[in-house]
Amino acid sequence: MTGRQVTALVVLLASQFMMAADFSVLNVALPEVGVSLGFATGSLQWITTTFALCAAGCTLVFGRVGDAPSPRRTSRTCGSSPETTATIAGWRN
């Protein structure tokens, strides 16, 4: 593997890890989120489903944005934006 391929693989693995970590945190915090929002236990699945749909939508949008102009420039500027924003928002609370 070349250096660029290794770098691409590391970036993809890191982003996949971040998504897995986000879903793990959501599942651990789900009971408290349900109590805070006043949801019944049976309705908690909608929170997870909504989170998954938003994550998939962002993946599709940023994938398309990355394919349009220069993939190298776009991945540096947009690739980490959703995860960085979510992490900062989590630390603020």
Average pLDDT per consecutive 10 residues, the chain (93 residues; last block may be shorter): 86 87 91 90 88 85 70 57 63 57
| Alpha carbon distance 79, 77 (integer Å) | 6
Length of the chain: 93
The predicted structure's pLDDT at residue 32: 92
Using a cut of 0.85, tell me whether the model's pTM lies above it: no
